[in-house]
Homo-oligomer: A and B are copies of this chain.
Amino acid sequence: MAKKQKKAFREFLESQNLRLTREREAIIEHVLRKHGHFDPEELHFELKGNGAKVSRASIYRTIPLLVNAGIIEKVENTDKHAHYELILGRKHHDHMLCTRCGKVIEFYSEGLERLQDRLCKAEGFKGNSHTLEIKGLCSRCNR
């Protein structure tokens, strides 16, 4: 199954005079197989396990490329290191984070998106991405 994300990456690299190397290919393929949020070290560990030989440096160098290509996005940190998730081909969503058990709830609200557009317009601001994180207790933890 030819992935549209790989195509997008290839085209992005081409547009920047960058090259699609074995390492970058291994990284994006691994990212596409993942579900949920991930971090660079996790990626490095798993890729080694897979037999792929990709250095930590290449992981850290490739992540910003995937971000700039619009394929992944940084998810703000509960932890102290960066977390990412696949976005190209997925529906946009925001997050609720349970501060007790760590559960992550993904949600989407059309009304929320429209309201943000209106608020931007009121400031003459041209928004082109946003992050909304709500912290609190999930349904299981809050009784």
Contacts and interface: CB of A to CB of B under 8 A. Distances in A.
Interface in A110-143: 111-112, 115-116, 119-120, 123-139, 142
B96 A127 contact: yes
Interface residues of A, number: 30
A16 interface: no
Contact of A134 (B111, B125, B139): B125
Contacts of A39: none
B119 A126 contact: no
A125 to B, nearest CB: 5
A96 B120 contact: yes
Given A115-B115, A119-B109, A76 B131 contact: yes
Contacts of A131: 76, 131-133
Contacts of A124: 138-139, 142
24 contacts: A96-B123, A96-B125, A105-B123, A107-B119, A107-B123, A112-B112, A112-B116, A116-B132, A120-B134, A124-B142, A125-B134, A125-B137, A125-B139, A125-B142, A126-B136, A126-B142, A127-B134, A127-B135, A127-B136, A129-B134, A129-B135, A129-B136, A130-B132, A131-B133
